[in-house]
Structure 1
Amino acid sequence: MYIDLQKRTKKISHPLMYIVGDTEKKDFPLILTIGREPNYGDVLTDDIGIIDVDEFSAMKGGVWVTAYTQFAKQYFGAQGSSGVLKKLCFKKNSSPIVFTNAFPMGIPNETADKKAIRAELIDRIPKHINNLFSKDLIKRVMLVVQHGTDSSEPSTLATKLIKEKCGELNLAYCSTAFFYNGNSAKIQTSLEMESSTIRVIFDEFNEY
């Protein structure tokens, strides 16, 4: 079943990217994490959204928490946690981790057949990826981490286009299992391939 977001009675917007605090005003290097789509029936905007620190602080799970947990393990060691990394980032009111998505539309988490909806987005994916990689923040990205890819046509297309953009811009690329802490071992195995780049990014951020 196709969900036409333009016909929603109450439209809610979702930014193209999410960052912490003053990240956009700084110049330290960034990690661009690319998921599938927002888990809400939102209209995707072209904006840079600011993460609500209080809300994020209270989160115990989800993609954002998993990302912070997994990168903390890479930087601080096996005992690294999302809490430790959040504390560092919130103190600096900025973060090297930027969140975005490969697909150009949010899909409510309760939707039974997300695959069918994603299949209808194929024609919109190239424009979305081109737009995403045209943003000023991309100039600071050193590493792109795409998570949750699969063998479906829309995912394959998005991954191909993202890899091409990384090649054009000379950005390191890494693909991992979906950002869910239950996938921690698999995610760490993938991130380990880019551990030196991750350390450089966080060292520069930590010294900023």
Structure 2
Amino acid sequence: MNKRDAAGVETPAGADLLHPSFLYYGETVARSFPLILVIGREPQVDKPVSPGAGTYDFRGSPRCGFWNSAAGLAARYSGVPGMTTAAIKRVFHAAQAAPLVFADALPIGLSDKIPPRDKARLRRAVPKAAIDRHLAHVLCLEDRPDAQVRSLMDRVEFVILSGHAAPGFEYASGMLVRHLEGLGVPFVRTAFLFGSNMPGILSALAASGWDTRFRSVMRRFRAADRNFPA
């Protein structure tokens, strides 16, 4: 039997055994504020990646450095003095919505238990055709794109390409840049979103003016969310 979430979206039975290729928070799909799409490397899971949208949950992975670093950026650019990563996550939970959506460059899951050298080998082993299909789904390049992913992508103001300078992402990174340029979607490339990389990422965003774009999205999310502190 299919499950239905608070937004009325059905989840097919057995879907929890797969990792959706496009992730949003809570009931974000039912809201209208703008979004920032963060495209990482690959999910750190032992599940196959499947086309379609699904939810992420900070509470289920409270120590996920990637999600926490993205939330930290949202806190920094929230317009609220002293806003912390933990506090912004509480805001998202209270609102059951967030302006951050996530996807990955590769259509495979790689557990964080896999040694780095083996990860590089496994990344390079992903067929280009599989990457093409995956990116076409994430960016809605198909003739009949997934309706839920399409509705979310239509709200994306800009994209953060995170950590794609690592070995094994040459093809996926190049295709992402090509597609985003073709779609006219603004994007910025950063180091992998992780604690030790954040000082350099913040400096790069400020130097290029991307911090202003981030603040603009957060300002509109704040205006749409009555749970946001004044």
> Please, what TM-score do these two structures have when normalized by structure 1?
0.85
Measure the CA separation in 1 of the matches of 2:215 and 2:20.
Answer: 28
Q: Does 1:184 align with 2:190?
A: no
SS class of match (2:32): coil
Residue 51 of structure 1, aligned match among 45, 56, 72? 56
Measure the CA separation in 1 of the matches of 2:111 and 2:166.
Answer: 21
Q: Does 1:90 align with 2:96?
A: no
Would the alpha carbon gap of residues 85 and 60 (structure 1) be closer, same or farther in structure 2, given more than 3 Å must change?
Answer: same
Would the alpha carbon gap of residues 173 and 19 (structure 1) be closer, same or farther in structure 2, given more than 3 Å must change?
Answer: same
> Which residue of the partner structure matches residue 145 of structure 2?
none
CA RMSD of aligned residues (A): 2.0
Measure the CA separation in 1 of the matches of 2:188 and 2:89.
Answer: 22
Tell me the CA shift for residue 122 of structure 1.
Answer: 3.8
Q: Does 1:39 align with 2:54?
A: no
Measure the CA separation in 2 of the matches of 1:49 and 1:18.
Answer: 5
- The residue identity in structure 2 corresponding to 1:15 is P
Q: Whose helix proportion is higher, 1 or 2? A: 1
Q: What are the superposed Cα offsets for residues 143-181 of structure 1, whole Å, 9 maximum, x if unpaired?
A: 1001111253x4122122112222222221111111111
Tell me the CA shift for residue 110 of structure 1.
Answer: 1.4
How many residues of Structure 1 are paired with residues of Structure 2 in the alignment? 195
Q: Does 1:207 align with 2:223?
A: yes
Measure the CA separation in 2 of the matches of 1:200 and 1:16.
Answer: 26
Unaligned stretches of 5+ residues in structure 1: 1-10
Residue 163 of structure 2, aligned match among 148, 153, 158? 148
* Residue identity (%): 24
Q: What are the superposed Cα offsets for residues 112-168 of structure 1, whole Å, 9 maximum, x if unpaired?
A: 21011111114221221111100311111011001111253x412212211222222
Residue 71 of structure 1, aligned match among 59, 71, 74? 74
Q: What are the superposed Cα offsets for residues 66-89 of structure 1, whole Å, 9 maximum, x if unpaired?
A: 110123223347844211211222
Unaligned stretches of 5+ residues in structure 2: 1-15, 141-148, 225-230
Would the alpha carbon gap of residues 195 and 53 (structure 1) be closer, same or farther in structure 2, given more than 3 Å must change?
Answer: closer
